[in-house]
Chains A and B, each alone.
Chain A
Amino acid sequence: MALLQISEPGLSTLPHQHRLAVGIDLGTTNSLVATVRNGISVVLNDKNGRAMLPSVVRYLADGSVAVGEAAQAMQSEDAANTILSVKRFMGRGLKDVGEISRLPYRFADASPAGSGQGPGQGSGMLQLRTVAGAKSPVEVSAEILKVLRGRAETALGGELVGAVITVPAYFDDAQRQATKDAARLAGLNVLRLLNEPTAAAIAYGLDNAAEGIYAVYDLGGGTFDISILRLSRGVFEVLAANGDSALGGDDFDQRIHCWLLEKNHLSALGPQDTRLLLTHARAAKEQLTEHAETRITAVLSTGEVIDSVLTRSEFQLMSQNLVQRTLQPLRRALRDAKLEVADIKGVVMVGGATRMPQVQHAVEEFFGQTPLTNLDPDKVVALGAAIQANLLAGNRGAEDWLLLDVIPLSLGIETMGGLAEKIIPRNSTIPTARAQEFTTYKDGQAAMSIHVVQGERELVSDCRSLAKFELRGIPAMVAGAARIRVTFQVDADGLLNVSAREMRSGAEAAIAVKPSYGLNDAEITRMLQESTQHAQGDMQSRALREQQAEAEQLLEAVQHALEQDGGLLEQAERKQIETRMEALRNTLQLTDHLAIKRAATVLNDATVSFAQARMDKSVAHVLTGKNIAELETTPDVP
């Protein structure tokens, strides 16, 4: 029996042991895991040698889950239960998802995360109805992360100390929190949430000993980021970040999809055909990177045949305004950084969608220089994340470099008249904190509610609602006398924490934070419990299989001994052994591994004197030069 060694992961007593840490690029379309091995960042492949895991999760009726290629293969056939691009739903409510009617899913708004939601503030993160029940985007993402975690632990041969998970730089607090929750659910210790363009800059900068100001243009499957960084003597300093967390390669597929519908005079299609055409649209998009035209042929469920030729120039025309939409954040980032185009030394391209020629041309035209494409735009984010994970895990030999990142969107609070007052401006270096004092407006006021929002717009209704909380237990004072100091702390993951204190009385006011989007602690706890129950279920079924195998061996051994040396037993003794064998056989039909174990022990006890008698007989045999192998049929006494 193997002893279970219980220790905190990573808290090894060995001083120089390499701590296993990985970087995970949790992408809209594909996800990757990388690690630093012998000082070099490498992407870890699956057992078939594939680096990219399609970010596709399929829920089956029997409760099982398929992730990656297996799920992708069924995307048209089982479109409603096969979730693609779940990243676009992270930390989002139904009203945030514009293209609902064009997606093959059945959506559900989550139950309100708490009471006290203001009007028009939505009611929590959306959910997807699948054959296995309603699933939140956090749970779906956790399935992807679990597979990558398993891949890494198999490849590295041990438990992970932690992981750096990348997020789009322009992700807001709700989206970041959702990502962190997904990692928690997948049993990963999150060392840091790292902005994707920053990860790319680390991989590129350390590899090329780059110095100067660089722009990272990151167009992924579902998100767009632009980051401007200053690289100098091992310091990566983000000067400005901007982007669009709802713009990516998927939108280019949608354009081709719409074109196909129009061209073939098709009206609303079912989920299966929608997905089929989207898959063909994506393939056509990829074809047009290398070829001037591509032919799209498909057979719809109605038997209708689609056969259309799409040229690169047609595609560029229909996607022109998508490319243009990336330029506005670019200009804003430059203005925020107080820089001109001429100040940019190099432009690093990240994300599979930057392979499209029209994107490369637009970027080249904007910056007046050829973008850097000497790194794999699909892998560079994971590679950079792995380098940071290695550093954060405290491994020796990790280069001495420093990352100074920023918060991409301003944090503010609601003031009179539904206006947002900025408390922490965008592009502030993190970690950062700002304290704000509030007072009461009524005599004896004991509570006050504060609404935290994120975004650049003036009206609260145009910003993202992050949290509403109540300050309670304010000591009775006349109006305006209380001084409540609320501290907004943004940590190195870009996540917000709020605390409050009444300054005159020194009383810590109670805060009940109700995340407007994202999951509340109760939801997380429920999900964790469910996944633990699954894990317990797994353990129990393993214990059952082990116990069954042991019992069968025991029965076989006793049976064999009876056949060999049954004559050594008294009639009553033999009867007792046989009864107990029968009892053990009966428990094998049950699923209770403890019952099997009990019955096996009882049978074992009954065979003690029999074993002794056989031992004596064997010794006698040895003395007379006879067979010693007989001993081996003696049942093990545990």
Chain B
Amino acid sequence: MQLASFDFQHNHFQLFGLAQSYQIDTAQLDQQYRAWQALVHPDKSAHLPDAEQRVAMQRATLVNEAYQTLRSPLRRARYLLSLHGVDTQEETNTVMPPDFLMAQMEWREAVVEARQARDEAALAQLEARLQRETRDLEAQLAVKIDAEKDYAAAAGSVRKLRFMEKLAEEIHAAYDAIDV
């Protein structure tokens, strides 16, 4: 890996030398990320003129952004679909299967109850269940994107995953709220 091969035009997968697929080798991603940072991190150019420091910051910012995008299953799927020209419409498309929406409402209520009751054990249970269901959704995504290449269906799964992520954030906030 050389600084000269850094290209702002590369997509995130190209940057880390990864095949453009949902399933990736995270160990390779981690290793490539560190290798890039060892070259582009602003600490490496702190003694150079301002212009070079600015370029270093832009490179390091992009490397961080690309890494964090690919490291998160939800963000990776969203990014991959955007490369295929598919907008996941997470803010605009609110049409969800009724059973999914029902389940979401039940989740929400359970989190609010646990928060009000300051019940950490209940939160931990909800968190474990959420993690299991999230992993199931991620497995479905892998099939829809990599095997079936059904990007429209995958976008639906991404929207569901976004709901799950919001729930996880609420559980996290509930922990913080209980812990005073």
The 13 listed contacts between A and B (C-beta, < 8 Å) are A162-B46, A235-B34, A331-B179, A388-B43, A392-B46, A394-B47, A402-B43, A428-B64, A428-B68, A431-B42, A432-B65, A433-B61, A492-B43
Known contacts A328-B180, A431-B61; A491/B42 CB under 8 A: yes
CB distance B179 to A332 under 8 Å? yes
Q: Residue-by-residue, is B91-114 near A (CB-CB < 8 Å gives 1, otherwise 0)?
A: 000000000000000000000000
CB distance B47 to A489 under 8 Å? no
CB distance A392 to B61 under 8 Å? no
CB distance A431 to B179 under 8 Å? no
CB distance B179 to A391 under 8 Å? no
Which residue, B38, B46, B48, B179, has most C-beta atoms of chain A within 10 A?
B46
- Minimal Cβ-Cβ distance residue in A for B41: A402
CB distance from B53 to the nearest CB of A (A): 9
CB distance B43 to A433 under 8 Å? no
B57 interface contact, C-beta 8 A: yes
CB distance A191 to B46 under 8 Å? yes
B176 interface contact, C-beta 8 A: yes
Give the interface of B toward A (CB within 8 A).
34, 37-38, 41-43, 46-48, 57, 60-61, 64-65, 67-68, 172, 175-176, 179-180
* Residue tally, chain A, CB below 8 Å to B: 30
Q: Which 8 A-B pairs have the closest CB atoms?
A: A394-B47, A392-B46, A492-B42, A431-B61, A433-B61, A429-B64, A431-B57, A431-B60
Q: Residue-by-residue, is A420-456 near B (CB-CB < 8 Å gives 1, otherwise 0)?
A: 0000000011111100000000000000000000001
A328-B179, A392-B43 are known; give 20 further A-B pairs, CB within 8 A: A161-B47, A235-B34, A328-B180, A331-B179, A335-B172, A391-B43, A394-B48, A402-B43, A403-B43, A404-B41, A428-B64, A429-B67, A432-B61, A432-B64, A456-B176, A489-B57, A489-B61, A491-B57, A492-B41, A492-B42
Q: Which residues of A contact B64 (CB under 8 A)?
A: 428-432
Q: Specify the main secondary structure of chain B where it touches its partner.
A: helix
Q: Which residues of B contact A346 (CB under 8 A)?
A: none
A192 interface contact, C-beta 8 A: yes
Q: Which residues of A contact B175 (CB under 8 A)?
A: 335
CB distance from A243 to the nearest CB of B (A): 14
Q: Which residues of B contact A489 (CB under 8 A)?
A: 57, 61
Q: Which residues of A contact B180 (CB under 8 A)?
A: 328
A192 touches which of B34, B37, B46, B68 (Cβ 8 Å) = B46
- Minimal Cβ-Cβ distance residue in A for B54: A491
CB distance from B63 to the nearest CB of A (A): 9
CB distance B47 to A19 under 8 Å? yes
B57 touches which of A161, A402, A404, A492 (Cβ 8 Å) = A492
CB distance from A465 to the nearest CB of B (A): 22
Q: Specify the main secondary structure of chain A where it touches its partner.
A: mixed
Known contacts A328-B179, A335-B172, A404-B37; A192/B60 CB under 8 A: no
- Minimal Cβ-Cβ distance residue in B for A190: B46
Chain A stretch 1-60: residues in CB contact (< 8 A) with chain B? 10, 19
Cα-based distance from A217 to B102 in the complex (angstroms): 44
Chain A stretch 309-361: residues in CB contact (< 8 A) with chain B? 328, 331-332, 335
A393 interface contact, C-beta 8 A: yes
A392 touches which of B38, B47, B60 (Cβ 8 Å) = B47
Q: Which residues of B contact A235 (CB under 8 A)?
A: 34, 37
Cα-based distance from A393 to B46 in the complex (angstroms): 7
- Minimal Cβ-Cβ distance residue in B for A422: B169
Chain A stretch 373-398: residues in CB contact (< 8 A) with chain B? 388, 391-394
Cα-based distance from A161 to B48 in the complex (angstroms): 12
A10 touches which of B41, B42, B47, B68 (Cβ 8 Å) = B47
CB distance B37 to A402 under 8 Å? yes
Cα-based distance from A30 to B59 in the complex (angstroms): 37
Q: Which residues of B contact A391 (CB under 8 A)?
A: 43
Q: Which residues of B contact A404 (CB under 8 A)?
A: 37, 41
CB distance from A164 to the nearest CB of B (A): 9
Which residue, B34, B41, B43, B60, has most C-beta atoms of chain A within 10 A?
B43
Cα-based distance from A430 to B61 in the complex (angstroms): 7
- Minimal Cβ-Cβ distance residue in B for A335: B175
CB distance from B150 to the nearest CB of A (A): 29
Q: Which residues of B contact A431 (CB under 8 A)?
A: 42, 57, 60-61, 64
Cα-based distance from A191 to B60 in the complex (angstroms): 17
Q: Which residues of B contact A400 (CB under 8 A)?
A: 38
Q: Which residues of A contact B65 (CB under 8 A)?
A: 432-433
Cα-based distance from A391 to B46 in the complex (angstroms): 9
Cα-based distance from A335 to B61 in the complex (angstroms): 25
B43 touches which of A19, A192, A332, A335 (Cβ 8 Å) = A192
Q: Which residues of B contact A388 (CB under 8 A)?
A: 43
CB distance from B56 to the nearest CB of A (A): 9
CB distance from A197 to the nearest CB of B (A): 17
- Minimal Cβ-Cβ distance residue in A for B39: A402
Q: Residue-by-residue, is A484-516 near B (CB-CB < 8 Å gives 1, otherwise 0)?
A: 000001011000000000000000000000000
CB distance A394 to B38 under 8 Å? no
Cα-based distance from A10 to B34 in the complex (angstroms): 29
Cα-based distance from A400 to B61 in the complex (angstroms): 21
- Minimal Cβ-Cβ distance residue in B for A433: B61
Chain A stretch 456-500: residues in CB contact (< 8 A) with chain B? 456, 489, 491-492
Cα-based distance from A402 to B48 in the complex (angstroms): 17
